[in-house]
Structure 1
């Protein structure tokens, strides 16, 4: 009878204990990763895309859009210091 009481741990109970200890850490890691991926998803736009959205929504005029677009393109090509 004594053997049946502790026999479960000898037959794989250590796997259950390992899972119980690792599961919270794995869940924490996955939740942090998902949170930061969602947070980063909104910041993938380039400056030119943001400028185009501002122009399309009417926040800036055509002349300002063209001036800023030319400035951004000059910076990306290395013409400006």
Structure 2
């Protein structure tokens, strides 16, 4: 999403270099000799992306463990109340 914001926030008439997400994503436009613009986009520093992936994985794993624990507790309570 950040890269799309960078792409559409650049002007068409000048050369720019912009970064997003703590410098991990880069979008550059460079004016060529014939007046055309060369566009490049990519990953410059993958460390913030790796940290984001690890944090999201940890959070989703915790949510899944909590959900399973609550589901098992519900089943135990239902079994206890029916007997």
Q: Please, what TM-score do these two structures have when normalized by structure 1?
A: 0.40
Higher strand share: 2
Alignment TM-score, normalising by the size of structure 2:
0.40
